[in-house]
Amino acid sequence: METNQDKLAITQALEDLYLKGIYEGDIDLLREVYHPGTLLFGDIKGEPYAKTLIQYLDAVKNRVSVKDSGKLFRGIIHTIDVVNSIAVAKLHVKMYDFNYDEFLSFHKINGKWVIVNKMMTDIAQ
C-alpha cells in the first residue's frame, strides 16, 4: 500500500541526499541513500554502463563535482510509485554534458528508504 508519508520520505531522500550528493560530489550523502549492494546499469552516449556501488562512488570522488565545474545541473522527479516496502522513482537529470533518464529502485529497510538499483540512459537533448 502506498502512503503519502512514503512518497514524501522518498522525495526527501532524492532531494537531500541523492541529487545534492551527485551535484556536490558528496559521497557521504550518496552512501546514506544507497544500499551497499546497489548495482548501476545503463548506457552513456550509447556505450554500456555497469558498476558496483563502490566503483560508482570512487568515480564520483575522483571527478570534478558538477557544482565546482560550473556546468548546468537540474534534477527533476517525474514519478514515484510505491507498493508496500518497494518503490520506483523516475527522474530526469541534466549534468555536465549529459541528459539522463533514470529509474531508481527503492526498498524500505529498517524504516528507511534506500536505493537498491539504478538504471539510466543518456538521451538526446
Q: Pull the grid cell for residue 100.
A: 539522463
Question: What does the pLDDT read at residue 80?
Answer: 97
Question: What does the pLDDT read at residue 81?
Answer: 97
* Mean per-residue pLDDT of the chain: 95
Q: Pull the grid cell for residue 19.
A: 541529487
Strand, helix or coil for residue 60: helix
Q: 25: which DSSP letter?
A: T
Ranges of the chain with pLDDT below 70: 1-2, 125
Question: What does the pLDDT read at residue 112?
Answer: 97
Question: What does the pLDDT read at residue 125?
Answer: 64
Nearest residue to 14 (alpha-carbon basis) of 96, 99, 115: 115
Question: What does the pLDDT read at residue 97?
Answer: 87
Q: 88-107: per-residue pLDDT in tens?
A: 999 999 999 899 999 999 99
Question: What does the pLDDT read at residue 53?
Answer: 98
Spatial strand order in the sheet of 34-44: 47-52, 34-44, 112-122, 98-109, 86-95, 73-83
